[in-house]
C-alpha cells in the first residue's frame, strides 16, 4: 500500500474504532487524521490539564480502543456508532490512554475505581475521604458551561483535579507515551483500553 511508505514502523497490534457514519474511502486501508476543526466533546478544562501534562490534545486527536474494550462496547454503540474499523498506529505515535472507561468518565466517576474502595497508602486514604465528599458526578464542575478553561476552576477544584490525576497515574489507569510505554502497563491486555493520538493512523473496515 502506498500509505505504508509514509511510515517506517506500524504496530501489528490491532486496535479498533467505532464511527457514527461510515467512511466513504474506497481503499482497503486509508489514513485518518482528525484536525482541530472537529466538533470537540468533553471537558475543556480537563483537556487543557492533560495537554499540560504531555497528553495529546482531545481537540486535535482521534480515539480508538483495544479488543477488550471492543468486546464490551455494545452498550456504547448509540454514542460512538456501529461502524467498526481496524486501526494501526505508528510505533512512535504520541498516545494518551485510560483503562476501564473513557478519559472523561474516568475522572467523573473515579469513585468506581477498585483501588478507591480499599486504599492502602495514607495519601490515598486522604484522597478517598476528600472525594467522598462529592456525590456521583463529583467532578461536576467539568459540566459547568461557565468553566471553559483551567483558569475558570477555583483553587479547590484545581487541587482535586491534580490529586485525582496523580492517583490515576500511580495506579496506571491513565498514561501517555508511545506504544511501548502503553504495553509496559500492568493493565495492558487485561482491562478495557481507550486511547487517543494526535498523529495519523491507518484504518481498514471490518466486514
**pLDDT by residue (tens digit) across 163-185?**
888 888 988 989 999 999 999 99
Confidence of residue 49 (pLDDT cuts 50, 70, 90): very high
Residues 123 and 158: their CA atoms lie apart, in Å, by: 17
Using CA atoms, how far residue 192 sits from 17, 22, 60, 178, in Å, is 13, 24, 23, 18
Confidence of residue 97 (pLDDT cuts 50, 70, 90): very high
Q: What is the structure's pLDDT at 136?
A: 43
The tens digit of pLDDT for each residue in 139-157 reads: 667 777 788 899 999 888 8
Strands, sheet with 15-19, edge to edge from the N-terminal-most edge strand: 30-32, 201-205, 83-89, 15-19, 62-65, 193-197, 95-99, 174-177
Mean pLDDT taken over the chain: 80
Helical packing angle, 44-52 and 155-170, nearest 10°? 60
More confident residue, 71 or 112: 71
Q: What is the structure's pLDDT at 184?
A: 94
Using CA atoms, how far residue 69 sits from 16, 24, 55, in Å, is 9, 25, 21
Confidence of residue 51 (pLDDT cuts 50, 70, 90): very high
Residues 192 and 173: their CA atoms lie apart, in Å, by: 10
Strand partners, 17: 85
Which DSSP string corresponds to 149-166? SGGGS-HHHHHHHHHHHH
Confidence of residue 96 (pLDDT cuts 50, 70, 90): very high
Using CA atoms, how far residue 4 sits from 86, 124, 202, in Å, is 15, 46, 9
Q: What is the structure's pLDDT at 206?
A: 84
More confident residue, 186 or 144: 186
pTM of the full predicted structure? 0.83
Residues 52 and 155: their CA atoms lie apart, in Å, by: 17
- The residue whose grid cell reads 490539564 is 49
Asked if 55 contacts 181 with a C-beta cutoff of 8 angstroms, the reply is no
DSSP 116: H
Amino acid at each position: 500500500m502506498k500509505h505504508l511508505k509514509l511510515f517506517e514502523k506500524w504496530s501489528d497490534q490491532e486496535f479498533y474504532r467505532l464511527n457514527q457514519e461510515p467512511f466513504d474511502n474506497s481503499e482497503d486501508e486509508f489514513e485518518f487524521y482528525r484536525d482541530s476543526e472537529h466538533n470537540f466533546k468533553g471537558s475543556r478544562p480537563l483537556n487543557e490539564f492533560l495537554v499540560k501534562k504531555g497528553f495529546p490534545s482531545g481537540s486535535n486527536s482521534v480515539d480508538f480502543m483495544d479488543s477488550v474494550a471492543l468486546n464490551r462496547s455494545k452498550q456504547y454503540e448509540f454514542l460512538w456508532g456501529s461502524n467498526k474499523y481496524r486501526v494501526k498506529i505508528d510505533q512512535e505515535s504520541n498516545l494518551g490512554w485510560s483503562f476501564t472507561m473513557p478519559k472523561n468518565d474516568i475522572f467523573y466517576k473515579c469513585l468506581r475505581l477498585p483501588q478507591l474502595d480499599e486504599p492502602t497508602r495514607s495519601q490515598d486514604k486522604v484522597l478517598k475521604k476528600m472525594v467522598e465528599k462529592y456525590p456521583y458526578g463529583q467532578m461536576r464542575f467539568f459540566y459547568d458551561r461557565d468553566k471553559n478553561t483551567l483558569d475558570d476552576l477555583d483553587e479547590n477544584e484545581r487541587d482535586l483535579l491534580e490529586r485525582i490525576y496523580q492517583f490515576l497515574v500511580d495506579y496506571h489507569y491513565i498514561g501517555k507515551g508511545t506504544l511501548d510505554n502503553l504495553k509496559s502497563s500492568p493493565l495492558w491486555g487485561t482491562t478495557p483500553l481507550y486511547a487517543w493520538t494526535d498523529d495519523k493512523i491507518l484504518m481498514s473496515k471490518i466486514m
